[in-house]
Amino acid sequence: MVKYSLKHSGLKKDMLVDAIIKHQEHRDELKSKLVTDNSIEQYHRGTVEYRLPTLIIYRIIRDLWHDDINLNLNTLHLCRNYRWLLSIGLVSKELFKLISSLFTRFELISTYQIYESHRMPDVLAKEIKSHYLNPLSVVKNISHLTLSMEIFKEINNKSKSTSIELGVIFNNVRKLNYSSDLISSSLRKLKLPHSPFSRSFLSILPSDSQVTTFSLAYISLEQINMIGSNFKNITKLILWKINGNAESKLEELLCSPKCNVRTLYFDCRDRFQMLLHRVLPVNQSIETIDVGENLKETFCVASKSSSINRFIFHEHREQSNAYSRIFQPTGYIHIKSKYRKNPGTLFSVGAVMKYAKKIYNVSENTDDNQAIESDYPNLKFLSYVQ
């Protein structure tokens, strides 16, 4: 596929005009194919005689999608759930449009170790692009996109995709995991892996970047410097592994008055625990923290800051005594749990992530703590063994 560039680079006027015309023709061709002359868009939008009112049918489908997809903690069932929910789009053009609007997350991660000839990155990239450019495909409104770096590089190959085609694919994307050097200024969430390709994408954040969530499984001093100019925009920072030479620079950024990080995910083990102990008493912007530890260790770290009112702790099994009021109180309540993949990995399932919210400041007087908790009998207050 030839890319039509508007950069003249010394081209003669007639060649530049010809390039502009071809660019516009290609744009109009895609618009006609996907919108104007797309038969899937041509359906009756008035009242239709179903056995149930259309609004109720819509509500049922949305609730099913929410329960079976968004709230599903067992990823092994996702494929089956997607299959039957997507099949609803075959009932009518109207329901096809609804399913397309709900289908906003797309994930395709593979490694060279499991690639077969028909599953190589270039083949998968071609298939993904064909879905986006197919007027009869339900893939039209992806806002959360997760791809392996190799597949993304193939999609972004300038000799295979035009800028207009890339716009069709990425214009709606708001959260991009495992990306490359093509970043839309509208992107708000960017998550990168610990990858051998990381050094090739140090220009990942352009000067006008508006990224507010930035994640990297392993970060070095070079990459810390790369995000330095954009650090003031970042409100959620996820760094699980930190190279020793990046420690002082990261401390400087987090302690800066311009720091706006409200959520911090951080590996608290070894010497980096001391880094957090220095940062948290100074930083007053961080409100939520995850240090990859259990309840007791996470609470001890959160106690170093007066601004933290939420934290995430990790348990490999359900611990009923976490809600017992005979142990050391934390002043926090359990609000929800999630199963997540281990950071920096593709397939392994990590511990249960439990989210906690602060209700009160723990007092040395046990009676005072119990009196406050008795006012909220329906809340699950967290406690731990000293």
Output the pLDDT for position 183: 54
Least confident of 227-231, 311-315, 345-349: 345-349
Above 90 in pLDDT, residue 261? yes
Give the pLDDT band of residue 385 (cuts 50, 70, 90).
Answer: confident
Query: CA 184 to CA 276: how far, in whole Å?
Result: 33
pLDDT tens by residue, 132-178: 888 888 888 888 887 777 787 788 776 677 777 877 777 777 776 65
